[in-house]
Amino acid sequence: MALVAVLTLSAVSAWAQAKECTDDFKTETYGKWYADRKDNQDAAYAAAKDYVAVCPTDESQYATVLKKFIADYDKIHSNQKLGTDFEAAIKANNYAETMRLGRQIVTATPDNTIVYIYMANTGLADPNLLAESAQAAKKAIELIEAGKPFTPAYKDSKDLALASLTYIVAKATAKTSPVDSIPFFIKAAKYNSDIKKNALLYNELAAAHGARVEKLTADYQPFIGKPETTESKLILANLNQAIDLQIDALARATAYADAANKPALMERLTELYKFRNKTDTGLDKLLAEVQTKPLPDIPAPITALPEPTATPTPAPASGGGGNNTTGGAAPGGSTTNGSTSRSLGPVNSGAAKTGTTTTTTAPPAATAKPTPKPKPRRSNHRSR
Give residue-wise pLDDT tens across range 314-339.
554 444 333 333 333 444 444 433 33
What local confidence, expressed as pLDDT, does residue 156 receive? 72
**Alpha carbon of 291 to those of 28, 144, 227: distances in Å?**
74, 28, 41
Q: Are 331 and 275 in contact (CB under 8 A)?
A: yes
Whether the per-residue pLDDT at 383 is higher than 50: the answer is no
Residues whose CB falls within 8 Å of the CB of residue 299, separated by 6 or more in sequence, listed in order: 241
Percent of the chain with pLDDT over 70: 75
Taking 90 as the threshold, does the pLDDT of residue 204 lie above it?
yes
Q: Write the burial class of residue 3 (CB in 10 Å: 0-12 exposed, 13-18 middle, 19+ buried).
A: exposed
pLDDT of residue 138: 98
Instruction: Look at residue 69 and tell me whether its pLDDT is greater than 60.
Output: yes
Q: Which of these, 329, 220, 332, 354, lies nearest to 276 by C-alpha position?
A: 329
More confident residue, 37 or 18: 37
pLDDT band at 313 (very low <50, low <70, confident <90, very high): low
* Selection from 105-119, 300-314, 356-370 with the highest mean pLDDT: 105-119
Given a contact cutoff of 8 angstroms between Cβ atoms, the answer to whether 208 and 253 are in contact is no
Handedness of CA 327, 266, 126, 150 (dihedral sign): negative
- 227-245: average pLDDT: 95
Average pLDDT, the chain: 81
Q: What are the C-alpha distances in Å from 205 to residues 37, 78, 189, 301?
A: 56, 44, 10, 19
Average pLDDT over residues 140-150: 95
Q: What is the pLDDT of residue 102?
A: 96
Between 312 and 58, the more confident residue is: 58
Dihedral in degrees, nearest 10, Cα atoms 332, 335, 336, 341: 40
Half-sphere exposure of 105 (CA within 13 A, CB side): 26
Segment 245-249 shows an average pLDDT of: 98
State pLDDT tens for residues 223-233: 999 999 999 99
Does the pLDDT at position 2 exceed 50? no
Residue percentage of the chain with pLDDT more than 90:
64
- Mean pLDDT (whole number) for 106-124: 94
Angstrom distance (rounded) from CA 265 to CA 245:
16
pLDDT over 80 (residue 192) = yes
Q: Give the pLDDT band of residue 189 (cuts 50, 70, 90).
A: very high
String of b and e for 168-179 (b: at least 16 CB within 10 Å)?
bbbbbbbeeebb
**What is the reported pLDDT for 310?**
66
How many of the other CB atoms lie within 10 Å of CB of 224? Answer: 14
The vertex-122 CA angle with 116 and 124, nearest 5°, equals: 120
Instruction: Give every CB contact of residue 269 below 8 A, 6+ residues apart in sequence.
Output: 247, 250, 251, 254, 283
User: Which are the contacts of 169, defined by CB distance < 8 A and separation ≥ 6?
Assistant: 134, 137, 138, 141, 184
Confidence of residue 84 (pLDDT cuts 50, 70, 90): very high
By mean pLDDT, which of 217-226, 300-309, 356-365 is the weakest? 356-365
pLDDT classification of 155: cutoffs 50, 70, 90: confident
Q: Which of 29-38, 93-102, 297-306, 329-338 has the highest mean pLDDT?
A: 93-102
What pLDDT was estimated at residue 77? Answer: 66
* 224: Cβ contacts below 8 Å, ≥ 6 apart: 350, 360, 361, 362
What does the pLDDT read at residue 220? 95
pLDDT value, residue 356: 35
For residues 371 and 267, what is the distance between their CA atoms, to the nearest angstrom? Answer: 9
pLDDT mean over 119-144: 97
pTM (two decimals): 0.67
Report how far residue 66's alpha carbon sits from residue 55's, in angstroms, rounded to the nearest whole number. Answer: 11
Query: Does residue 176 surpass a pLDDT of 90?
Result: yes
Least confidently predicted of 82-96, 179-193, 253-267, 333-347: 333-347
Confidence tier at 211 by pLDDT (50, 70, 90): very high
β-strands 339-341, 334-336 pairing: antiparallel
Q: What is the pLDDT of residue 307?
A: 82
Number of Cβ within 10 Å of residue 237's Cβ equals 17
| Residue 203 pLDDT | 98
Polymer length in residues for the chain: 384
CA-to-CA distance for 296 and 135, rounded, in angstroms?
27
Average pLDDT for residues 77-103, to the nearest whole number?
91
